[in-house]
Structure 1
Amino acid sequence: MPSPSAERSRSAERTDAAWRAAGPEVELWLDQDPVARELPGFALGRRTLSGPAGAEVTALHRSGVRCLRLTEPVRLCADAPAASARALMLLREATGQGLAVLWRAVCTDGCAAQRRFHHLYPPEQLVGAPQDVLDDWHADYFPCKCVYRRGPGFVEVRDRRFGTLELFTIDEPDHLAQVDALAAGVEVGRLPDTVRRDFAEAGLIAEQAGRAWFLPMRVRRWPFPSLTV
């Protein structure tokens, strides 16, 4: 009879495999302008992005991609499946790289009105939420609305999702050690309790499909004017 530790190990392996297999399918273009996207040579077809979101988006940007479309609706709620969680992480990276993203959001528990995802490129549709939530998302969106950057021995988060600037400095070793893991998505059970609690209370992580992931995007270049960030 398998030991409890062996069962947990196999369960973790199945969870990891399901997470890796949930990479979103996207449609790609070399330009975000709707007219340009219809020109010969600008459409690059469909692709499933099964690798880490940061590496995938960086590779797309370097190859000239400037617009992508998520082919499946993305659920925003806490009970979202792995496919939606990975799609949102891809959205975070694409937004940080300055790509335009065409996508449809779904919300059935009211979470969209909490503005947790309003730093991401706005969706074309938001099913299950009042129209004014989507209108607000579009009206108030600007680049670098919730970003982080590294310094020597600390990470600084600048968050304007809720109107005024909220500034967080992460310098405690246990918290700092988890930033990279959270950026890639980490099993909730592997997070130290204090780290999970503090980041959740600050609104800096989402928990979906058994994973916790960092909501702020890594800043790559400051927008103009930089004081808006």
Structure 2
Amino acid sequence: MPSRPADPAGPAVPADPADWSAAAPEAELWLDYDPAARDLPGFALGHRVLAGPAQTEITALHRAGVRCLRLTGPVRLCADAPAASARALMLLREATGQGLAVLWRAECTDGCAARRRFHHLYPPEGITGAPPEVVADWRATYYPSKCVFRRGPGFVEVRDRRFGTLELFTVDEPGHLAQVDALAEGVGTDLLPDAVRRDFAEAGLIAEQAGRAWFLPMRVRRWPFPSLTV
């Protein structure tokens, strides 16, 4: 599997595993993308704590007709992010993959926001601690399916354009494939095999926050452009 230089943000800060299950993000929900429509009677669904697995929660919301959500708390992007921020980012990954609009604000104090690690996610309204041009770049360069993965028989292919050019990664080692589903919801960094952790980190395909590693690419559900473009 090809690699790129590791992100210089540094190692994740361990956290009490109990914090992960307790740190469920809260979101405000609407049935329409349009801000004007969201003000109409019946379009606002109120607030909900999204305590379940990210894919399960977002799939259920999408099937229920939700098309826009607002994360009520700020989301820290850095390696020292708490469990609530890591879980919120995984919800963002799933919501982006399902085509939902997400209203949210980010925080960054170590410069990681400028390195485009999260630029495949629906862009934030602002980033506290980062220059205005960072969020402007994120919003200007964002498009659907910027970093996605799809499964084939005995392999996973990742297509990544976060950094400008298309990078292809083929994951076919059995030990690596066995961790992809678990990484979608976060795996304790101490439970992840060293070779898997190293290879995915060097390829820029995982984030490590709150004592867990989680997979950054989104599941591809449909091609918004011809596949060679994506």
Pairwise TM-score range, normalised by the shorter structure: over 0.9
Give the secondary-structure state (helix, strand or coil) at the position aligned to 1:189. coil
- Distance in structure 2 (CA, Å) of the matches to 1:194 and 1:154: 17
Partner Cα distance (2:228, 2:127) in 1: 30
Three-state SS of the structure 2 residue aligned to 1:207 is strand
Aligned to 2:216: 215
Aligned to 1:160: 161
The equivalences for 1:78-227 within 5 A come to 78-227=79-228
Deviation, 1:103, is: 0.1
Q: Which structure has greater helix proportion? A: 1
Structure-2 residue corresponding to 1:73: 74
Task: Give the TM-score normalised by structure 1.
Answer: 0.93
- The Cα RMSD (Å) is 1.2
Residue 23 of structure 1 deviates from its aligned partner by 1.0
- The answer on 1:36 being equivalent to 2:37 is yes
* Structure 1 residue ranges, 4+ long, deviating more than 4 angstroms after superposition: none
Q: 2:17 touches 2:211 (CA, 8 Å); kept in 1?
A: no
Residue type of the alignment partner of 2:48:
R
Relative contact order higher in (CA < 8 Å, ≥ 6 apart): 2
Identity of aligned residues (%): 81
Local SS of the residue matching 2:97: helix
**Distance apart, 1:18 and its partner CA:** 1.7
| CA–CA distance in structure 1, aligned partners of residues 18 and 201 of structure 2 | 26
Q: Deviations over 1:110-159 (max 9, x none)?
A: 00011000000000011111111111100000000000000000000000
Q: Partners in 1 of 2:16 and 2:34 — Cα distance?
A: 39
Unaligned residue ranges in structure 1 (runs of 5+): 1-11
Separation in structure 1 between the aligned mates of residue 229 and residue 112 of structure 2, nearest angstrom: 25
> Which SS does the other structure have where 2:228 is aligned?
helix
Determine helix, strand or coil for the equivalent of 1:199. Answer: helix
Deviation at 1:224, TM superposition (A): 2.8
Inter-partner Cα distance in structure 2 for 1:37 and 1:73: 22
Q: Which string of whole-angstrom CA distances, capped at 9 and with x for unpartnered residues, describes residues 200-221 of structure 1?
A: 0000000000000000000111
For normalisation by structure 2, the TM-score amounts to 0.92
SS in 2 for 1:175: helix
Find the aligned partners of 2:18 and 2:46 in 1 and give their Cα distance.
26
